[in-house]
Amino acid sequence: MPPLSPNGRILNYEVTYWRPGMKQDALKILLPFNVFGFSATGLQPESRYLFGVSAENSIGWGPQAVAAVVTTVQRGSGDFEGASRVEKAKKVED
């Protein structure tokens, strides 16, 4: 979906994720403009994480959009492992 207010070609995305209250331990991944998917690994089951995404254009980095994600328990073989659900989008504080 195109942006509501286009303001330049996107050069990179930065994905950051952390547990609430532990932003100092956040993991950051830089992705090129043509990558539209990302899989977080090593997440703990039954845990809440915050995921932030920001985009870079020729002017610099835009504001970070943050969503809260809650992981579920791992299931046996044949089922999805480490499934998660995204909480309703809202402003999330660390």
Res 41: pLDDT? 86
Kindly report the three-state secondary structure assignment for every residue of the chain: CCCCCCCCCCCEEEEEEECCCCHHHCEEEEEECCCCCCCCCCCCCCCEEEEEEEEEECCEECCCEEEEEEECCCCCCCCCCCCEEECCCCCCCC
Give the chain's mean pLDDT.
81
- Which domains does the chain show, CATH number per domain? 13-86 (2.60.40)
Segment 10-54, tens digit of pLDDT: 999 999 999 999 999 999 999 999 998 888 988 999 999 999 999
Where does the pLDDT of residue 88 fall: very low under 50, low under 70, confident under 90, or very high at 90 and above?
very low
pTM: 0.70
Residue 80's pLDDT is 46
